[in-house]
Chain A
Amino acid sequence: MATPAEIENRSRRLNEKLADYIPPRETWTPADEALFKPPDLLRVPLDEAQELQFKAIKYAFTRHYTYNQFYREYCKTKGVAPGDLKSTDDFDKIPFIPDSALKQHPSGKDLAYWITSIFTGDLSKVVIKGANPTFDDVISAFNEQAGLAVAYSSGTSGQHTVLPRDMKTFLSAEYAMAKIMTCMSDDLLADHSLLLVPKHTQSNLWIAKGLTYQSEVYNDVCYTLDFEISADLARKAMTSEDQRESAPPSAEARGRIIVENAVKWFKRYDKTKDTIRVISPPFLLSQIMDELEREGQQCEFGERGTIITGGGWKMSDDKHVAPEDFRKRIAEVLGIPETRCTEMYVLTEMNGHNHSCPEGHYFHVPHTYLKPFVLDRNFMPVGYDESGRFAFIDTLAGSYPGFIITGDEVRMLEHCPVCDRPGSVLDPVIKRTASAEGRGCSTVLQKVLDRELEAK
């Protein structure tokens, strides 16, 4: 395990590389302080973290109440105002926004109006060309003209979560991602990086945009998905095997090329003494390992390698592998030990992420700026060690109300049972909550037909 001095060193190095992401100290908000001040975001003593968190949450809630008309009206219907937050016990009064509301945005022209309603603060006017702008047309217009970083989720549930980040929020999100990764992993000086995610210049997916900083921080960053990925293509490329099987030949060929190029990359550096790091969704890494095994190949990276997976299993349920089994497979095929394999629990709605510790693989929450909750079926907070719906207050979200109820089922522990990092953690196994299925016979029939119409 790295010493505090080593982590501090890494943070300093990171701050040098990402100097442009850090605002001047005199302008720091409480949320900025919670993010930029601690050298190791995941080893802040609890009382210090809670103090930073409290100030950041008060600030964030007041900001959104004041500058976001939608959120203010919503809070008024709930009878909650900034003056009501007097202690940490009052945080569960804060009105949350379910992620389903963020997915129920309109399309076309109305999407543009929807973005203006969820955005907190002043927004420049945008001009969108075309009588029938596409989803990506609208988002690109805001990004190019209003200086935003609007991004969306992969849409594996059938709908994209769309969130508008202003530059401050975006840069904070990037910095948070980088810092959390640096605190958990010593790969800052890796010789080569392979990113098996869409490239940030070619896609508005958060999985792409959220890693924009990679080429500024790491050496020799190689993107295997270096082609334009629209919202529609994203769902085909990153969702079920059924959809991949029904994809057009060009998409299949592209998928094969991605895997082949990645295999070549692994084989090239296996023969050297260089250090490597890889960021990948597990299903794609699994395909690469399948190919290596088909070729009868095994790599022996050992301590030279770092694997970071994230995004969950997007394939059909029968391909899902338990995290510990997946790490064992990585050790067998790539020769990278389990302690050098970590996972990211990333959400489009969250700035930064929860990163698993190499010791126990529990997801550590960056608790200086993020407050996690686990909610029961009545959407009331439950105690530690109980399963429920994951919700959080994200104080880095300056341009949208970051008080989110997700669709994920988690179990939260008061502290990691394996490593000594303070603060709560989430169990490695995260599932989707049961959706409100079957609101009528029509719904059932529609799902069946939908599935069958998509099949070849």
Chain B
Amino acid sequence: MIEMNEQGFPSQEASTPTGLALGPVIRKMLANPGALKKMRMMDPDEERYVRPPREYDLPAYRQGMKYCKSNEKYLRPTRWCNPREPLVIAMANELGAYELSDWEFAEAAFWFVKTKFIAEFLALNSVSDSLRRGTGTCMHMNSVWVALCRAAGIKARYKSFNMMLPSSLTTVAKTERDRTTANMFNRGMPEIEGEICIDGKWVVGHVAMRPEYLACGYLPIPRFGEDAIGLTFPLAPGATIKRYESIPLWMWFVVKAMMSFIPASMGRANLTILGALLKGSQVIEEAGGLEAYDRAARSKSESLPVDEILRTMKAAMRPELVEFEA
């Protein structure tokens, strides 16, 4: 696993510590059997998550289809990302591998994943399984994109970062319980992007959220080459940006643990996502289509710079006016 820390983003000091708090969360879950039971079991009358049908056809693999056989770093198979699976090769060829330029192919694969996959919480699996299903977490979706690019002979890697969750969920949480759950996700659940190497430069892409999902929150839609950091997600403070050739084992463990311990919660989260997609598609339609929506969302995000306001407030603090006595 290769880690690189990123500089160059505006410093955003955490107003409260955002340490990994899985331990306290687990303790609270165990101390609250009622909550734990609810997280593990659905009520009989509760709506169940039903996976929506896949939104694309699966191409058939044919002997002789081109694919990359290199064992060079960022091209070779890695954990849950095997670019040599027949279905991956077939899909890469379907999208134009070895016919389009590297940029064109990477962008085609980017939009394929971004617009055709649906977010679903489930354990990590092979890229072929993800392709057959058409759903997955951000890790699944980025693995599909990375695998497709590697199959096309284009170097690809993962990038993770910890995002600042909306303020309603994090630093202004007033009860210990709120802070605990918020902190768990401030450090325990990173967001994933992909990076594709084109002409010697790494180009970022955020495939893990469909436009409809972003539209539900009136957020701009990151394009290929645009970083979601700053556009869609405020970055959590500290050196949280990391890059990997392969998905770390601990990410598998976290997702597996959650699926094992709290499957009902994961199911409810999946249902919430479907609801958000429906709402978001209505927003896009009302806006007059995807492009019109994105234009409007970008101008909104420019005119409501909450992060900028907060930074300006912080710079204007007058600590000399406050004294603390033990």
Contact = CB atoms under 8 A, between A and B. Distances in A.
A73 B310 CA distance: 12
Contacts of B29: 453
Interface stretch (B63-71, B86-94, B263-271): B263-271
A449 interface: yes
Contact of B177 (A110, A116, A443, A453): A453
A440 B322 contact: no
Cβ-closest 7 pairs across A and B:
A106-B15, A70-B316, A116-B318, A436-B217, A442-B189, A158-B168, A104-B167
B322 A113 contact: yes
A368 B318 CA distance: 34
6 contacts: A70-B316, A74-B308, A112-B322, A131-B326, A157-B168, A447-B169
Contact of A446 (B39, B169, B320): B169
Nearest to A379: B303
B273 to A, nearest CB: 6
Nearest to B295: A378
Given A100-B167, A437-B216, A158 B178 contact: yes
B105 interface: no
Interface in B213-233: 213, 216-219, 232-233
Interface string A83-97: 000000000000001
Given A160-B172, A456-B32, 19 more contacts: A70-B313, A73-B315, A98-B304, A104-B171, A104-B306, A106-B15, A110-B15, A125-B320, A126-B323, A131-B324, A159-B168, A435-B217, A436-B166, A436-B218, A436-B219, A441-B189, A445-B185, A446-B165, A453-B181
A98 B309 contact: yes
Given A232-B175, A436-B219, A440-B138, A445 B309 contact: no
**Interface range for A:** 35 or more
A421 interface: no
Contact of A101 (B189, B218, B306): B306
Contact of A455 (B35, B175, B232, B262): B35
B58 interface: no
Interface string A238-260: 00000000000000000000000
Contact of B171 (A98, A106, A445, A447): A106
Contacts of B314: 117
Given A110-B15, A444-B269, A446-B185, A159 B324 contact: no
Contact of A128 (B119, B312, B324): B324
Contacts of A108: 16
Given A73-B315, A101-B310, A439-B232, A133 B177 contact: no
A127 B163 CA distance: 35
A404 to B, nearest CB: 12
A235 B189 CA distance: 28
A135 interface: yes
B44 interface: no
B318 A452 contact: no
A128 B325 contact: yes
Contacts of B308: 74, 77
A129 B325 contact: yes
A440 B228 CA distance: 11
Given A126-B321, A379-B304, A441-B269, A456 B171 contact: no
B200 interface: no
B34 interface: yes
B265 A449 contact: yes
A116 B180 CA distance: 28
Interface in A414-456: 434-450, 452-456
A62 interface: no
A449 B22 CA distance: 13
A66 interface: no
A441 B138 contact: yes
Interface string B181-220: 1101100010100000000000000001100010011110
B174 A116 contact: no
B78 interface: no
B28 interface: yes
B168 A435 contact: yes
A113 B177 CA distance: 25
B319 interface: yes
A452 B169 CA distance: 14
Interface in B237-287: 258, 262, 265-266, 268-269, 272-273, 276, 279
B137 interface: yes
A435 B166 contact: yes
A392 interface: no
B181 A101 contact: no
Contacts of B323: 125-128
A452 B273 contact: no
Given A116-B318, A131-B326, A235-B174, A438 B216 contact: yes
Interface in B149-179: 163, 165-169, 171-175, 177-178
Contacts of B324: 109, 112, 127-131, 133
Nearest to A436: B217
Contacts of A128: 322-325
Contacts of B167: 100, 103-104, 159
A396 B205 CA distance: 47
Contacts of B145: none
Contacts of B209: 440
A69 interface: yes
B300 A379 contact: yes
A452 to B, nearest CB: 5
Contacts of A448: 265, 268-269, 272
A343 to B, nearest CB: 26
B121 interface: yes
A116 B218 contact: no
A107 B16 contact: yes
